A and B are shown apart, each in its own frame.
Chain A
Amino acid sequence: MTSIEVAALTKEYGSTRAVDGITFTVAPGRVTGFLGPNGAGKSTTMRLVLGLDRPTSGTATIGGRTYASLTDPLRQVGALLDAQNAHASRTGRNHLRALAVSNGLAPGRVDEVLEETGLTSAAKRRIKTYSLGMRQRLGIAAALLGDPPVIMLDEPSNGLDPEGIIWIRELLRRLAREGRTVLVSSHLMNETASFADHLVVLGRGRLLADTPMRAFLDAHSHARVRVRSAEQTRLRQALIQQGYVAEFDEDGKLTVEDAKAEDIGALAAREGVPILELADETASLEQAYLALTAQDAEFAAAPSRP
């Protein structure tokens, strides 16, 4: 199958280095989440892969070939960069027709992808009448048009309603199950956690991580237990005596750092404190991501704000 290979890729705009010598491979059969704050270089990397921008140095290839050398590229790579990238006076259907015709795709594909993205009823309306969510769906329809083995989507859940977000999540999972290479950028951690198997994280144009999701969570988070008991204050005293760091959270539960539920349960039993609730807290991608970016000194000094 086809991978996306990025090697020592660098792009400078004037004196700004948007992408700074990054190397990674996006493998088929899984969803790769592409993370990083706004301006980290995710969109630039995608444009470089598509040959829209030219790299200052390094290469970006698909299955070993540059994008520009692909015959009928829509059959190889489907991309959504920005849902706004379509002439607003065209109808959704004509937008897709012009794309399909250029790559010699069967005219029936246009109606198929409109159906698949739920746009059939809006197909003959001008794109300017579309909501942001509908434009996203149209962009995804364009990406799926050539039934490509490689799919690259930049912030596809932007503007989608809750049903749309569930739809895109299931679509991405299905595309990966079918053995396709799926790269999806996002700055929403919980959203990415719901569909990604693998992560590529950028910060200020540099590669911060390229690991499976599970490994990423394990590496950048630590064990933590939440506990609610009949006698919280006494339990906290006991925990502190044992050397644990235990603090009340806003719900009145105790959060115990670097602990496992079995140890805390045993300790409470020895103390005779009735336990009402006890659980290992699974690390969230958000926490792991923030832990990673905090390691990056300049990040900590100048955190990016939304």
Chain B
Amino acid sequence: MTTTAVLHSEWIKIRSVRASWGSLLSVLIAALAITLLAFPLIGQAEADNPDYDAIFSAFYAINFAQIAAICFGATAFSSEYAHGALRVSLAAVPNRALFYGAKTAVIGAAALLLGMITSFVTFLVGQAFMGEYAIGLGDEGALSACVGAGIYLALMALFASGLTALLRSGVAVLSLLIPFILIVGFVIGDMSAGVAEYLPDRAGQVILHSDPTGSLGPWTGLGVTALWAAGSVGAGWWAVRRRDA
């Protein structure tokens, strides 16, 4: 049994379940749709505010794309827990490390690819409507924010997939993470002091700010999100390795 064969098999599994394939595409679709709705209407209206952050505003739609990325990570793994499909999967690939590693790799790679496309498309399409306020990839922080947003989306997908493996339920993970992201993002808002800074979404989004104020830098922030994702993937592995299928 080769790793390539198992990776290919996991890719077929993602492609062939509408919920996971659809939510993967939704990462781009959601970001693009929000950008096309928001930027022609209100893009330039906010640009005169004194605390306007040109880069963070450019990635406004990433808030919505990350929900799609979380859905993708959760559904791509939860498809194994629907109808006991995991038993058939583990009968075909009894090496659980290979099974889990391949699935996680495919989820991460697919989310990273779509995340990168999404961040660049979001940025470039949004800026096309910004007229005199438009910034380009050459402006300070813009390119690293594009790359960072792509990585951030992939990390959020992995964070969700690991939790799904641990909790064995996509619904549980979605009803935990989505309100969590919405509350942290919109209720706590710009309150960036203390523990909240180290939450996976807050930390990872530091790279989207042109002038980060907290204690975390752009890449260390993304590093903190990567630790969250690694912790979640590790906990998922512990569950998959240990539990009876």
A54's nearest neighbour on chain B, judged by CB, is B244
Query: Is the pair B1, A52 in contact by a Cβ cutoff of 8 Å?
Result: no
Distance to closest chain A CB from B211 (angstroms): 46
Query: Is the pair B91, A52 in contact by a Cβ cutoff of 8 Å?
Result: yes
A130 to B82, CA, bound (A): 16
Residues of chain B contacted by A101 (CB below 8 angstroms): 5, 8-9, 12
- Comparing B15-23, B119-127, B230-238, the segment that makes contact with chain A is B15-23
- Comparing A1-9, A65-73, A222-230, A250-258, the segment that makes contact with chain B is A65-73
- Comparing B39-47, B92-100, B176-184, B198-206, the segment that makes contact with chain A is B92-100
- In the complex with contacts A50-B91, A82-B87, A85-B84, A90-B16 CB distance below 8 A: yes
User: Is the CB of A103 closer than 8 A to any CB of chain B?
Assistant: yes
A99 to B1, CA, bound (A): 12
Residues of chain B contacted by A67 (CB below 8 angstroms): 94
- In the complex with contacts A72-B1, A87-B17, A102-B91 CB distance below 8 A: no
Count of A-B residue pairs with CB < 8 Å = 95
A121 to B74, CA, bound (A): 32
A129 to B126, CA, bound (A): 43
Partner of B5, one of A81, A87, A104: A104
Partner of A99, one of B17, B88, B244, B245: B88
User: Is the CB of A300 closer than 8 A to any CB of chain B?
Assistant: no
Partner of B87, one of A52, A90, A91: A52
A128 to B245, CA, bound (A): 22
B96's nearest neighbour on chain A, judged by CB, is A68
Residues of chain A contacted by B87 (CB below 8 angstroms): 47, 50, 52, 81-82, 85
Partner of B93, one of A90, A91, A102: A102
Query: Is the pair B245, A89 in contact by a Cβ cutoff of 8 Å?
Result: no
Distance to closest chain B CB from A148 (angstroms): 11
Query: Is the pair B1, A71 in contact by a Cβ cutoff of 8 Å?
Result: yes
A98 to B85, CA, bound (A): 12
User: Is the CB of A264 closer than 8 A to any CB of chain B?
Assistant: no
Chain A 76-114 interface 0/1 with B at a Cβ cutoff of 8 Å (1 = within): 010101101111111100110111011110000000000
User: Is the CB of B6 closer than 8 A to any CB of chain A?
Assistant: yes
A68 to B6, CA, bound (A): 15
Query: Is the pair B18, A89 in contact by a Cβ cutoff of 8 Å?
Result: yes
Chain B 1-42 interface 0/1 with A at a Cβ cutoff of 8 Å (1 = within): 110011011101101111100000000000000000000000
Query: Is the pair A89, B13 in contact by a Cβ cutoff of 8 Å?
Result: no
A103 to B12, CA, bound (A): 13
A91 to B13, CA, bound (A): 11
Query: Is the pair A97, B17 in contact by a Cβ cutoff of 8 Å?
Result: no
Partner of B245, one of A52, A71, A73, A91: A52
Chain A 40-62 interface 0/1 with B at a Cβ cutoff of 8 Å (1 = within): 00000001001111100000000
A94 to B11, CA, bound (A): 11
A135's nearest neighbour on chain B, judged by CB, is B83
Residues of chain B contacted by A82 (CB below 8 angstroms): 84, 87
Query: Is the pair B16, A94 in contact by a Cβ cutoff of 8 Å?
Result: yes
User: Is the CB of B172 closer than 8 A to any CB of chain A?
Assistant: no
Residues of chain A contacted by B12 (CB below 8 angstroms): 94, 97-98, 101
Chain A 179-219 interface 0/1 with B at a Cβ cutoff of 8 Å (1 = within): 00000000000000000000000000000000000000000
Distance to closest chain B CB from A175 (angstroms): 18
- In the complex with contacts A72-B1, A86-B88, A89-B19, A98-B13 CB distance below 8 A: yes
Query: Is the pair A70, B13 in contact by a Cβ cutoff of 8 Å?
Result: no
B244's nearest neighbour on chain A, judged by CB, is A53
Residues of chain A contacted by B83 (CB below 8 angstroms): 84-88
The 5 closest A-B pairs by CB, nearest first: A102-B9, A94-B16, A53-B244, A52-B245, A85-B84
Sample 12 A-B pairs with CB under 8 A, ordered by A number: A52-B90, A52-B245, A67-B94, A68-B94, A70-B94, A73-B92, A85-B88, A86-B85, A87-B85, A94-B15, A99-B88, A102-B8
Besides A54-B244, A87-B13, 19 new A-B residue pairs in contact (Cβ under 8 A), listed by A number: A47-B245, A52-B244, A53-B244, A72-B1, A73-B94, A74-B91, A74-B92, A81-B84, A81-B91, A84-B83, A88-B82, A97-B12, A98-B13, A98-B16, A99-B9, A101-B12, A102-B1, A102-B92, A104-B2
